[in-house]
């Protein structure tokens, strides 16, 4: 054994002496070339730039400390610029090689493989680049959505128009996240901004922090969002507490290259900006810009943009990209402003004529344009995010649809979108919670759904009391509102309902609809608890419900055929069921507040489906689908499946 060990060691020593000096045993990594990243310095400079622009106060930046300044120039120069997209799997070394002798700047990080190229010989560059280039688009000039001349308004009418004052009782904002404003800059000498609330930002034209606003448009826009409130001077912005980052991408004329805006969107997204305002636009669909917007959305940003000021139905970008909140303008009379663009990409409207805001000097002025409608919505989005930090753009859109004040033709339309943003209602919609309505309960989804729509409310203690019974007058209000009845200005004609009673209009609307008649003695008995059979009768009549297809039979119903029929109408549509799944309905039993929310939620969906089956239009089908989608996903699955099958069966001509 010892001889074998000695022989092995001798052989090993002989092998080592035969290896060339410095040679080593090949490793698993041999053959793999590790090259230095040619864009490491530029990416490092960008990371420092992103850090610097978040600072509260601009500071002097030493020349060259952020690398070579990109070849930016004023849009007025007219030089030819292109956005070049390289293939995603292409080597950075190869890309660096073809860019070596060119005037260029990276857009975002080098991982995006995007560059802004300044050249008079695009063909020559493409010939040199070969198949490295995946796509090229001309770097168009974009414009601030400029104001138009309009009569002055006496004050900040927008605050009441958008119901911002009551909204501030819920939240005044937060400095815990960033709002990005891409515009002409920001005037730091204006006294109506809280120190530190406007961060250092970045000037893509001068490659520095944002110190000034040679145009004034950016300061106008920023004032709408973030002018200080309760500071005894000037105006109140939409968000009292905020952290705004100005991105200067437009020159003194309000013009700029889209590549700077694209780069700023990438930068804003990578910094985690939760709201991005774009009061600028053009009429060219650009894939690179769309990709940047999508990148920001995927990072969690709510992107808001001005619809445009040309009284045109043409799509304006970036407002018309998928998922961007396109905002039109209305006057103080809530009419579409004469200049506001209109098309099927408009999501909602906000004040945009004679808007009092901070100007480019140290004072204030009135401005008009969708440029000032957009920051109102961006500000409301920021309030919403401060209330719900994990709020998504999809959830914000849902809240917009559910709470905006309908203007123009009923429902969505191309001039007003979903309507005028209502900050108070929107925040109430998002802020719904009751300590006694736990998520695990069967009624949680129904209660929250109707509370968000303002159909039901909690008590002054903040509780909902789901097991409490429902009074006849309270039930009247819930049903009248849920059914969309016209109750304004009406007065009930019952001796025990005072004309001044706040429930009188709702009771009157139901009586006019034939849904209630009162008792044989002529009274209504508003404070009496409503029974299960009574709620079926009133609901069926108020919503004009028809017999459904689900099996419905109970052994304890009233012999009165009329009342029995109303119970079966609701049961055959899945709106009500027997007690504990039995054949007992308990018609004289009280209805609880939790049960009421389920009845109304499903009744609204059934009513919408009936209308869609008659109208056979896509608009009606979409409205019905939205109400079915609002129903809790984990409750009454047989009812949901039945209603969905009815929608799917509708044939649209």
- Residue tagged 């100005």 (tokens): 246
Q: Alpha carbon of 603 to those of 421, 456, 628, 639: distances in Å?
A: 27, 15, 10, 11
Q: Is 652 exposed, middle or buried (0-12, 13-18, 19+ CB in 10 A)?
A: exposed
Quote the Cα angle for 232-234-239, to 5°: 90
SS3 state at 33? coil
* Distance (Å, whole) CA 382 – CA 174: 8
- Residue 645 burial (CB count, 10 A): 10
Question: 589 with 626: CB under 8 angstroms?
Answer: no
Q: Alpha carbon of 115 to those of 87, 502, 549: distances in Å?
A: 12, 64, 61
629 assigned to active site:
no
User: What's the chain's Rg over C-alpha atoms?
Assistant: 32
**141-144 and 280-281 strand pairing:** antiparallel
521 assigned to active site:
no
Among 139, 150, 183, 422, the one annotated catalytic: 183
Say whether the peptide bond before residue 489 is cis (omega within 30 degrees of 0): no
Q: Alpha carbon of 278 to those of 241, 257, 258, 375: distances in Å?
A: 20, 14, 12, 8
Question: 553 with 583: CB under 8 angstroms?
Answer: yes
Among 371, 373, 374, 476, the one annotated catalytic: 371
Q: What is the full DSSP assignment across 185-231?
A: ---TT-SSS-TTTB---EETTTTB-----SSSHHHHHHHHHH---SS
Query: CB under 8 Å to 160, separation ≥6 — which residues?
Result: none
**275-278 and 280-281 strand pairing:** unpaired
Q: How far is CA 179 from the centre of its chain?
A: 14
Single out the residue of 608, 604, 580, 573 nearest to residue 456, CA to CA.
604
371 assigned to active site:
yes
* Distance (Å, whole) CA 297 – CA 594: 37
Q: How far is CA 256 from the centre of its chain?
A: 26
Q: Buried b vs exposed e over 281-305: b needs ≥16 C-beta within 10 Å?
A: bbeeebebbbbbbbbbbeebbbbbb
* Distance (Å, whole) CA 459 – CA 439: 19
Among 217, 418, 444, 474, the one annotated catalytic: 217
* Distance (Å, whole) CA 334 – CA 348: 12
- Residue 149 burial (CB count, 10 A): 6
SS3 of 569-620: the string is HHHHCCCCCCHHHCCCCCCCCECEHHHHHHHHHHHHHHHHHHHHHHHCCHHH
* Distance (Å, whole) CA 393 – CA 374: 15
Question: 136 with 340: CB under 8 angstroms?
Answer: no
What residues act catalytically? 183, 217, 371
């Amino acid at each position: 054994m010892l001889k074998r060990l000695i022989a092995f060691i001798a052989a090993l020593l002989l092998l080592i002496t035969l290896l060339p000096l410095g040679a080593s045993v090949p490793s698993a990594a041999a053959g793999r070339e590790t090259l230095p990243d040619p864009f490491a310095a530029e990416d490092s400079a960008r990371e420092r730039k992103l850090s610097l622009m978040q600072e509260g106060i601009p500071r002097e930046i030493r020349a060259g400390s952020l690398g070579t300044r990109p070849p930016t120039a004023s849009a007025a120069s007219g030089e030819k610029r292109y956005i070049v997209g390289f293939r995603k799997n292409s080597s950075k070394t190869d890309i660096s090689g073809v860019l070596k002798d060119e005037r260029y700047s990276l857009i975002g990080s080098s991982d995006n493989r995007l560059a802004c190229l300044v050249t008079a010989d695009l063909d020559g560059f493409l010939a040199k680049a070969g198949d490295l280039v995946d796509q090229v688009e001309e770097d168009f000039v974009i414009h601030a959505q400029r104001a138009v001349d309009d009569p002055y308004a006496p004050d900040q009418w927008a605050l009441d128009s958008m119901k911002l004052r009551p909204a501030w009782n819920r939240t005044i904002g937060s400095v815990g996240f960033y709002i990005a404003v891409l515009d002409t800059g920001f005037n730091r000498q204006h006294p109506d901004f809280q120190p530190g609330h406007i961060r250092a930002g970045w000037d893509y034209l001068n490659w520095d922090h944002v110190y000034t606003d040679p145009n004034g448009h950016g300061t106008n826009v920023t004032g709408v969002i973030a002018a200080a409130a309760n500071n005894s001077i000037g105006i109140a912005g939409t968000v009292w507490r905020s952290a705004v980052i100005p991105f200067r991408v437009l020159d003194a004329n309000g013009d700029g290259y889209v590549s700077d805006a694209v780069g700023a969107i990438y930068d804003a997204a990578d910094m985690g900006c939760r709201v991005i305002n774009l009061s600028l636009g053009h009429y060219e669909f650009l894939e690179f810009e769309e990709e940047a917007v999508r990148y920001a959305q995927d990072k969690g940003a709510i992107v808001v943009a001005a619809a445009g000021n040309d009284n045109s139905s043409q799509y304006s970008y970036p407002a018309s990209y998928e998922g961007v909140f396109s905002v039109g303008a209305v006057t103080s009379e809530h009419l579409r402003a004469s200049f506001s663009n209109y098309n099927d990409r408009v999501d909602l409207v906000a004040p945009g004529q004679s808007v009092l805001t901070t100007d480019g000097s140290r004072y204030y002025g009135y401005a008009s344009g969708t440029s000032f409608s957009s920051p109102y919505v961006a500000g409301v989005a920021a309030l919403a995010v401060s209330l719900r930090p994990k709020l998504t753009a999809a959830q914000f859109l849902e809240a917009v649809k559910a709470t905006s004040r309908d203007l123009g033709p009923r429902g969505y339309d191309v001039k007003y979108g979903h309507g005028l943003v209502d900050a108070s209602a929107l925040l109430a919609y998002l802020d719904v919670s009751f300590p006694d309505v736990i998520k695990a309960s069967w009624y949680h989804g129904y209660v929250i759904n109707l509370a968000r729509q303002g159909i039901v409310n909690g008590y002054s203690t903040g509780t909902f009391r789901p097991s409490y019974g429902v009074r006849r007058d309270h039930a009247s209000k819930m049903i009248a509102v849920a059914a969309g009845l016209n109750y304004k200005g009406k007065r009930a004609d019952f001796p025990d309902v005072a004309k001044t009673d706040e429930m009188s209009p709702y009771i009157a609307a139901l009586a006019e609809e034939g849904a209630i008649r009162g008792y044989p003695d002529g009274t209504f008995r508003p404070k009496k608890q409503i029974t299960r059979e009574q709620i079926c009768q009133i609901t069926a009549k108020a919503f004009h419900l028809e017999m459904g297809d689900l099996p419905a039979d109970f052994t304890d119903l009233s012999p009165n055929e009329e009342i029995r029929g109303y119970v079966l109408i609701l049961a055959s549509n899945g709106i009500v069921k027997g007690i504990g799944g039995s054949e007992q309905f308990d018609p004289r039993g009280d209805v609880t507040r939790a049960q009421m929310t389920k009845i109304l939620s499903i009744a609204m969906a059934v009513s919408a489906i009936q209308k869609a089956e008659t109208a056979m239009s896509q608009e009606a089908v979409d409205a019905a689908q939205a109400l079915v989608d609002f129903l809790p996903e984990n409750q009454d699955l047989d009812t949901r499946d039945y209603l969905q099958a009815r929608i799917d069966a509708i044939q649209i001509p």
